[in-house]
C-alpha cells in the first residue's frame, strides 16, 4: 500500500490526462501567470505539477486545454491541497503537486469533461482486463 492509498478520498474519479494549463494567481500582489500541465484531471478539479508552491485556499484563474479541439475551459479554482515532491538530486528544482478544485465550470464544460473522463476510464478498464 502506498502512502497515497489512504489519501484518495475524492468525490470524483481522476484520470491521467496531460492537459495544458495556464494558471494565474494574484498571490503576493502581482499577477503571476504559469504555463504547466496536469498530473491528472477529474470533473471536480485538477492536479498540477508546478515548480513553485501556491498557498492553500488561494483562488486562481485557470485555462484548461483538453486537447480535444474544443475551446479552452476558463474558470476559477481554489487550491485545496499541495504536496512538495521529494528529490534526492541536488541542483534540481523541487516540484509541487497542487490540487485545485473547480469553482465555476459551466454545465456544458463539465459535461464535456465528464465525457472525456468516462472514455478514458473505459479505455483503461479495457486495457487492464485479462
In a domain, 86, yes or no: yes
Does 5 fall in a domain?
A: no
pLDDT at 125 over 60: yes
- The separation between CA 45 and the C-alpha centre of its own chain, rounded to angstroms, equals 6
74-116: per-residue pLDDT in tens? Answer: 999 999 999 998 876 666 678 899 999 999 999 999 999 888 8
Do residues 28 and 73 make contact, with C-beta atoms less than 8 angstroms apart? no
Residue 81 counted as domain residue: yes
Residue 1 in domain: no
User: What domain range includes position 30?
Assistant: 11-128
The fraction of the chain above a pLDDT of 90, given in percent, is 38
With 0-12 / 13-18 / 19 or more C-beta atoms within 10 angstroms meaning exposed / middle / buried, residue 79 is: buried
Tell me the CATH number at 50: 2.40.10.220
Over residues 11-62, the pLDDT tens digits come to 667 788 888 899 998 776 677 889 998 889 988 999 998 988 899 999 999 9
Number of domains in the chain: 1
Amino acid at each position: 500500500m502506498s502512502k497515497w492509498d489512504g489519501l484518495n478520498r475524492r468525490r470524483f474519479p481522476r484520470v491521467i490526462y496531460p492537459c495544458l494549463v495556464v494558471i494565474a494567481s494574484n498571490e503576493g500582489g502581482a499577477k503571476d501567470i504559469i504555463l504547466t500541465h496536469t498530473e491528472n484531471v477529474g470533473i471536480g478539479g485538477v492536479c498540477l505539477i508546478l515548480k513553485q508552491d501556491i498557498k492553500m485556499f488561494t483562488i486562481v484563474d485557470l485555462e484548461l486545454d483538453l486537447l480535444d479541439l474544443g475551446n479552452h475551459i476558463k474558470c476559477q479554482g481554489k487550491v485545496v491541497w499541495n504536496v512538495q515532491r521529494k528529490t534526492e538530486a541536488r541542483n534540481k528544482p523541487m516540484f509541487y503537486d497542487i490540487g485545485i478544485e473547480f469553482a465555476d465550470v459551466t454545465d456544458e464544460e463539465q459535461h464535456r469533461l465528464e465525457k472525456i473522463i468516462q472514455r478514458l476510464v473505459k479505455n483503461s478498464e479495457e486495457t487492464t482486463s485479462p
